[in-house]
Amino acid sequence: MIEHRTDVLIVGGGIAGLLATRVLRERGVPVMMADKAVRVGGRLATRRIGPGRGDHGAQFFTVRSREFGALVEEWIAAGLVYEWARGFSDGSLRTNSFDGYPRYAVRGGMNNLAQHLAEQLQPGVRIESSARVRSVVPLADGWQTTTEDQQVFFSRAVGLTPPVPQSLALLNRDLLTEADREILTPMDYEPCLTGIFWVDGRVDFPEPGAVQQPDAPVSWIADNQRKGISPEAVVVTVQASPEFSRQLRDLPETSAIQALKLAIEPYLVGQAVIKEGQLKAWRYALPKLIYPERYLLAQGLPPLVFAGDAFGGPRVEGAALSGLAAGNVLAACLGK
């Protein structure tokens, strides 16, 4: 059993958790982070396949607020983020449907943004990866958080940034007030089955290398080489709509991969062949319900904040803004 003591423990190292941690550090609050995965990033996910790589969670992000815009400017200046496109084909056109709004991508893949944010927290912030939190229990003056690998964190406050059902599974729900339970319990997410495929040869997608059809069974298909993150090889990402994902997730993995692979075939050029495919089944991809505030501070307990992309607004931007707000409220709870 390894014991850690800190003021705030942030559970989850997606963009919300990373930015909450950044704010706390900037405000001089001792903070640690635990994430269940080997690498931080959550749904900012990039995977190697064959000689290339593909984003298999978030594909790009947009900017709607000045606050997130300032962060994106910082990342562009650091050479990390670039504008990929201003719209995507719906499959019916050979040119993209330009709508004037930039879609940003991350050099080397979305996960690099998370790695960059984690590096900026060093030295100073302990980040425990491969540390799946099992329980979060209130004490007289804070929280005891235990991981499956027998680490125990004693903290004055906790920030929970996983998708809400995963956060609720860590707590005895009876500790929450009825009002908080009524807000949190119905919060659910759409699934997304994603395939990434290594293609030996050429593919021919409309500019800028992707097709977006929100109402079709395959809602997104993109060439990561054209996007600029996989110079070594063509890697195609295929994402199923929520409805198609629900149908596919009950099938054996090989059948689901086969169904997603079919979507690439019309775009293969000449002798191009699909060499390899991998599947990722996101159970919690996109929130169905958005709580209007950027975080929820649980009532009647030591400081406990729920945050992430279901609070204040969806997608990468919503998660980022929620993380910033959560960091600020946790610092304020501790008088910092």
Ligand X SMILES: Cc1cc2nc3c(=O)[nH]c(=O)nc-3n(C[C@H](O)[C@H](O)[C@H](O)COP(=O)(O)OP(=O)(O)OC[C@H]3O[C@@H](n4cnc5c(N)ncnc54)[C@H](O)[C@@H]3O)c2cc1C
- Told to check if 42 binds ligand X by CB under 6 A, we report yes
Site track 197-236 with ligand X (rule: CB under 6 A), x = hit: ----------------------------------------
Task: Tell me how far apart the alpha carbons of residues 154 and 138 are, in angstroms, rounded to a whole number.
Answer: 10
CA 293 to each of CA 67, 285, 299: distance values in angstroms, whole numbers, following the listed order = 16, 20, 15
Stretch that binds ligand X, among 174-182, 203-211, 280-288, 289-297 (CB under 6 A): 280-288
Give CA–CA dist 302/155, Å, rounded. 10
Q: Which of 85, 125, 133, 164 binds ligand X (CB under 6 A)?
A: 133
Q: In the window 134-193, what residues touch ligand X (CB under 6 A)?
A: 161-163, 166, 170, 192
- Total residues contacting ligand X (rule CB under 6 A)? 38
Q: Please report how close the Cβ of residue 40 comes to ligand X at its closest, in angstroms.
A: 6
- Comparing C-alpha atoms, which of 31, 77, 89, 57 is closest to residue 336? 31
Look at residues 264, 328, 265, 247 and name the one whose alpha carbon lies nearest to residue 67.
328
Stretch binding ligand X (CB under 6 A), from 39-47, 89-97, 151-159, 290-298: 39-47
Residue 271 Cα to chain centre, angstroms: 36
Helices (DSSP H) in the chain: which residue ranges? 15-26, 66-77, 111-120, 164-168, 178-184, 224-227, 242-248, 253-262, 315-333
Least Å distance, CB 135 to ligand X, is 9
CA–CA separation, 293 and 130 (whole Å): 30
CB of 224 to ligand X, least distance (A): 13
- Interaction between residue 313 and ligand X (CB under 6 A): no
| Residue 303 touches ligand X, criterion: CB under 6 A | no
**Min separation Cβ 265 and ligand X, Å:** 21
Q: Which of 328, 316, 305 is nearest to 159 (CA)?
A: 305
Our finding on whether 22 is near ligand X (CB under 6 A) is no
Chain contacts with ligand X (rule: CB under 6 A): 11-17, 34-37, 42-44, 57-61, 132-133, 161-163, 166, 170, 192, 194, 239, 282, 285-286, 308-309, 314-316, 319
